[in-house]
Amino acid sequence: MLWPRPSRPIGDPLGIAPRTFLIVGADHKRAPDLLREHLQGDEADVLRLLSRCREIGLDQAMVVATCDRCEVWAAVTDETRAAADITALIAEAAGAEVPQVAPHLHYLTERAALRYSFAVASSLESQVVGEPQVLGQVKDAYQFAAKRGAMGGELDGILQAAFAAAKRVRTETDIAAQSVSMAACVVKLARQVHGKLDNLGALLVGDGDLGQMVAEQLREAGVTRWTMVHGSAARAQDIAARFKAHAASLADLPQALIDADIVVAALDSARTVIDAAMVSAALKKRRHRPMLLVDFAVPGDVDAKVDAIDDAFRYTFDDLERLAMAGRQERSAAIKAANAIIEEELDQFLRAQEARGIGDSLASLRDHFEAERLALLSENPKMDAAELSRRLVNRLLHRPITALRDDAKDTDLERAVRRLFGLDRNKE
């Protein structure tokens, strides 16, 4: 919960409408690759899902859509109804029925949702822990929602706290070293296979975050001639524009492979898109100039039978992770330190919200008392002080006394009331 809830239902006389932080969505840990592929969309798809959230009454919501996850983060007043509604919207976005999608989604509320949001922003929930672009993706989702009026005070406060936690994780730990070292491994492998990199042709298949990061590292190392391939022509054009490269479709893969000294596969299509016959044909036309194929998809985009082909060097996600994790002990220490920071930031955030919630409740209580006093005066302006005070006491105590009778067996509540009003001291 964002703030302490009263025991009364929403719409109590104090006017408090508490909200719950809710996260519903699919991620790489629970959802099949095929489902995540259907949910990976461009900006128009994200806008459509965000607009549908607004249509069903979610006035504080954002959509986090990457190759690792498609989730709705929202501050809601009715978590049960909101969870069901968001599930239906995600199923709609995936082009599937709710019973097909719901078992693969995760539902987080309260502290678990807060901790998860901090961990996602800090890249502790990514396929490769420490991916540096994840924080940027969450910030983009936040700004996208804010520009469209979907970022209220409660959700904004959570996101600002998540960003602060992520910043501490980045500056106080070496959590980003793993993904950076994996990209460095690819550059090193490329040099081992090809020597100099400046005259090479490279092919990026798909838009996976790690694949794009490795492509950036290869560009910085000197590989500037790129072709971008994606199942979506619009997405291929978007990535190609960013890399100043040529865009191609999946149908163009056999031809694109001929000029590919390096292939970075990150489509995550849940099926093989580069098979052994395709690679053999390309190598023959290349006069058997070697080809390095780096496959970040799980399951792979590149057929494992490629390993039997001379002059083709295939490395999977697991291969690269093993190479990059020579310092496994250091990485584990960084993850432990990062998790400790997140717990500290989470406790600090919850304490601040609790203090703010108490202040808001006291202000509402004062306003409520004043409203009752003015209401009595307006009913009978000539009422004498004794009658006014008697009626005011009865009005103010009516709901608390009813609540105490309803919860007569709650000894903690009784003790709290006696302490609050000093009733035990009155006996002395």
Residues acting as catalytic residues: 67
Alpha helix segments (H runs only) across 95-232? 98-101, 110-121, 134-147, 153-172, 177-194, 209-221
Scan for tokens 């004062």, then name that residue. 366
Hey, how many other C-beta atoms are within 10 angstroms of the C-beta on 50? 22
Distance, CA of 292 to chain centre: 33
* Contact call for residues 334 and 175 (beta carbons, < 8 A): yes
293 phi and psi angles, rounded to 5 deg:
-115, 115
CA angle, 309 as apex, 304 and 312 as ends, to 5°? 85
How many CA atoms, within 13 angstroms, populate the side-chain half-sphere of residue 28?
19
Tokens of 409: 């067996």
* Contact call for residues 269 and 245 (beta carbons, < 8 A): no
* Contact call for residues 302 and 263 (beta carbons, < 8 A): yes
* Helices 177-194 + 328-379 axis angle, to 10: 140
Contacts of 373 (CB under 8 A, 6+ apart): 392
Query: What is the DSSP code string of 247-289?
Result: EE-GGGHHHHHHT-SEEEE----SS-SB-HHHHHHHHHHTTT-
